[in-house]
Amino acid sequence: MKGLNGKVALVTGAAGGMGRQICRRLVDEGCSIAMLDIDKAGLESLAADIGGAAKVFHIAVDISDYSAVCKAVDAAEKAIGSTNLLVNNAGWDKFSNFLDTDEALRQKVISINLNGPVNMFHAVLTRMAQRDGGRVVTIASDAGRVGSSGQAVYSACKGGVIALTKTLARELARRSILLNAVCPGPTDTPMLQDFLNQGPGGQKVHDAMKRAIPLKRLGQPDDIPGIVAFLLSDDASFITGQVISVSGGLTMHG
């Protein structure tokens, strides 16, 4: 992909299903990588896996804590250089009908999926704006475009980060900072497995999802890095404020 070699990328949720594959792809493209996640052990195993010749830094941080995020970004920049690329990928949900949720669950979902990206945007975009340039890809969700039963508050957060992406793309275009969002459909990662393992109907839900997807399979973590790398590359230098689904055709959004 054009223009990625030598860039410094910061990836949140790096230790998760999609995050690992995104990090691997960016390292293959010649990027130095700062990997952030709340899962310290997961980060350590990933760093051991992809370390080698690549310049890789990792730090455990909760993205819902703004001051911890600022410290982590500072530490990352000290270790591997100024951030050129941000991938906002961390996320979490526990499937539940809205009326069955309690306040603690609703606040946790908002903290991670909305406050987390807000914190990352603010900490990293402030630095990118001082340097007049940068690229951001945020992993939202088709839940934020078309809704998803059992994911009401999560869908609201994902819709929120899509709106945030478009607004920031308008505000920061004059600083040569480009922001886009990628919306996976159901994708076979620990997050989806947790949901499918929640009750005895998991296999049925899995099969129903597969039937509903025109390409007749669930997404795999490896379906995501290609579009992320493209949107971060020089091939996408006239694309900003856009939202693209990677869902096997489940959603065909205009």
Tell me the catalytic residues.
154
Distance CA 114, CA 166 (A): 15
Question: Is the separation of the CB atoms in 144 and 157 below 8 Å?
Answer: yes
Q: Are 93 and 154 in contact (CB under 8 A)?
A: yes
| Residue (132 or 151) nearer to ligand NAD, CB | 151
> CA-CA distance, 221 to 201, in Å (whole number)?
23
The residue (of 2 and 253) whose beta carbon lies closer to ligand NAD is 253
Give the nearest distance from C-beta 127 to ligand NAD in angstroms.
19
Residue type at position 18: M
Q: Does 62 bind ligand NAD (CB under 6 A)?
A: yes
| From candidates 16, 134, 160, 225, binder to ligand NAD by CB under 6 A | 16
For ligand NAD, the closer of residues 70 and 129 by Cβ is: 70
Q: Write out the binding residues for ligand NAD, residues 138-177 only, by CB under 6 A.
A: 139, 141
- 181 is an interface residue for ligand NAD by CB under 6 A: no
Q: Can you tell me which of 10, 35, 37, 236 binds ligand NAD, judged by CB under 6 A? A: 37
Annotate 75-115 with DSSP letters as a single string.
Answer: HHHHHH-S--EEEE---------GGG--HHHHHHHHIIIII
Residue whose CB is less far from ligand NAD, 60 or 129: 60
The H-or-E segment that residue 48 falls in is: helix 40-50
246 binds ligand NAD, rule: CB under 6 A: no
Which residue's C-beta sits nearest to ligand NAD? 16
Nearest residue to 73 (alpha-carbon basis) of 11, 20, 140, 129: 11
Contact predicate 46/15, CB 8 Å:
yes
109 binds ligand NAD (CB under 6 A): no
Query: In the complex, what is the shortest distance from the CB of residue 178 to ligand NAD, in angstroms, rounded to a whole number?
Result: 20
Structure tokens at 57: 């830094």
Q: Does 134 bind ligand NAD (CB under 6 A)?
A: no
What are the residues binding ligand NAD (CB under 6 A)? 12-13, 15-19, 37-39, 42, 62-64, 89-92, 112, 116, 139, 141, 184, 186-187, 189-192
